[in-house]
């Protein structure tokens, strides 16, 4: 499946009655066979208030806690199976609530953004609205003072004038492994076109530059809104299409709405 071009191989492991165990080598092989960005497993859950558990691996074998586009894909599969419009999905980052809002459209409540420096996490105390990080000369930096947001995974968001002119493939790996980020970080580059429109590209930790990043889109809106640059609801334009993001005032939750696509079903030998 894919969410705005963000590709996933999804395994239904509920029949096993136990977690799906894959080695990093197997995950990498599956990623290569299926040409996907991440591998997801649908598993049974024992947590009250959740319907399923979703496990997430990057194609390099590392396990991560959140994936917005993958959540929409898994939600669509299970919602259609159950003939219901809502689903509660347990992840390592918490329980997410998903709602089917169209034939191939899903809205996911990504929960409250985590904004304290220890929740990102950062290596040292600082204001996460604009953290003390610069790239380039001190008096004329290329990038400076990004916002930091955790949406189940750590995101650093730089505001740029023209995202197409940013050397993301060169800067992304350097910033992902910056000493300030003990768990690495996803690096977003946000071009603000209007208070309700952002052009975004994201370098994902352990994955690289992808066509879309759902949690990154949520983080971009929260980060720019905290800096007074955007409103609490905006269209986020990624390489693969558009997401609608709302940072709700009533409960501080972030809602992400967007499309999914089922590409094919088949077997993988591993």
Q: What six digits make up the tokens of 26? A: 């197997």
- 67 counts as catalytic: yes
Helix (H) or strand (E) holding 231: none
Q: CA 41 to CA 261: how far, in whole Å?
A: 17
Select which of 36, 73, 107, 213 is catalytic.
Answer: 213
* Phi, psi dihedral angles at 242 (to 5 degrees): -130, 145
User: Where do we find the tokens 């199976």?
Assistant: 81
- 107 counts as catalytic: no
Helix (H) or strand (E) holding 214: helix 214-226
Of the candidates 109, 104, 95, which has an alpha carbon nearest to the alpha carbon of residue 49?
95
For strands 38-43 and 52-58, give the pairing: antiparallel
Select which of 67, 73, 218, 225 is catalytic.
Answer: 67
Q: CA 207 to CA 104: how far, in whole Å?
A: 26
| Terminal C-alpha separation, the chain | 19
Of the candidates 67, 33, 17, which has an alpha carbon nearest to the alpha carbon of residue 264?
33
Active site residues: 67, 213
């Amino acid at each position: 499946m894919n969410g705005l071009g963000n590709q996933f191989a999804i395994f239904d492991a509920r029949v096993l009655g136990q977690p799906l165990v894959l080695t990093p080598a197997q995950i990498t092989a599956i990623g290569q066979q299926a040409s996907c960005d991440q591998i997801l497993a649908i598993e049974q859950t024992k947590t009250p208030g959740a319907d399923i558990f979703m496990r997430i691996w990057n194609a390099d074998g590392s396990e991560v806690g959140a994936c917005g586009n993958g959540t929409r894909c898994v939600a669509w599969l299970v919602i259609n199976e159950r003939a219901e419009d809502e689903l509660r999905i347990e992840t390592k980052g918490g329980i997410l609530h998903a709602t089917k809002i169209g034939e191939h459209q899903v809205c996911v409540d990504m929960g409250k953004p985590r904004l304290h420096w220890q929740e990102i996490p950062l290596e040292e105390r600082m204001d996460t609205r604009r953290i003390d990080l610069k790239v380039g000369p001190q008096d004329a930096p290329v990038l400076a003072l990004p916002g930091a947001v955790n949406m189940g995974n750590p995101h650093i968001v730089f505001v740029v004038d023209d995202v197409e002119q940013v050397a993301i493939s060169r800067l992304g790996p350097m910033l992902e492994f910056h000493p300030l980020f003990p768990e690495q970080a996803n690096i977003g580059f946000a071009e603000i076109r209007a208070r309700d429109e952002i052009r975004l590209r994201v370098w994902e930790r352990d994955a690289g530059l992808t066509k879309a990043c759902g949690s990154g889109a949520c983080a971009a809106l929260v980060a720019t809104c905290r800096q007074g640059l955007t409103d609490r609801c905006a269209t986020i334009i990624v390489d693969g299409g558009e997401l609608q993001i709302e940072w709700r005032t009533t409960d501080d939750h972030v809602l992400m709405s967007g499309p999914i696509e089922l590409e094919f079903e088949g077997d993988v030998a591993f």
